[in-house]
Amino acid sequence: MKKIERLPAPDCLDNDLEKSKSQKIKFYQTLHDASGKIQARWNSTCLDTDKISKIRKRLLEMSENACVFCGIRISNDTFDVEHFLPKDGFPYLAYCWENYLPTCKKCNQNHKGTFIPNSLKNREIVEEILKNLFLNAEVYNHQSLLEATTDRIIEPTFDNPDEHLEFLEAFFCYNPLTEIGRQTYNMFFKHKEVAEHFEKLSKFVLKVVKGSNNPEELVIAHIELSGFEYVCLKFLSYWLQEKKEERI
């Protein structure tokens, strides 16, 4: 995992714009569709000229077209708008920009799902624009909430993942350094198939380093196609050092 910078909200989710703020309040007032599901307006509103939501485009731009958890390459057709605090548990954060992350469908649907830290369960938390409608609710503050919560997973626009997870190139795995790192490791990386995939990436990079005069260029080309930038660059640095010290 790597640190990413959260971009400014697209206009349609910008609470500082009165028109957008008013529209968002109306969205929350009509939160559910006829079947009782929260309306996925992060996919269907704020459409660009190509009929793709500017929300989704901004999230892809923010992560450089990669899942923020596993790092695989994603596109508009293959990624989910992930709610860090799940929308079913925190419905009045459903349209909150700071609560969105771009992830692959496997990380969102199979691994993270509706995970809520125990310390946040049964708490009513709402966007700041709704504070006058929910007088007894807790007003959401992204930074304060994350600083106070230690049983959560890494939020890569807020946390530096390297402070919570150490990548061990020789063993094809992450090592948790904190409780937040442990939660993240258990959720996304403590799976046999992950270690097997990392081992394959390591063998690929080793082959490139041993056989190419320009291994950096080939590894970058692979990243552009498949993603996994953080892991691939870690392996590249590792095997280049091994080659320099004549151990391979």
101 bridge partner residues? 82
Predicted pLDDT of residue 18: 96
Tokens of residue 200, six digits: 């394959």
Closest CA to 42 of 4, 74, 79, 5: 79
46 vs 185: CA distance, rounded Å: 35
Per-residue model confidence as pLDDT tens digits over 101-118: 999 999 999 999 999 999
Tokens of residue 86, six digits: 């799940």
Segments of the chain scoring below 70 in pLDDT: none
Predicted pLDDT of residue 69: 98
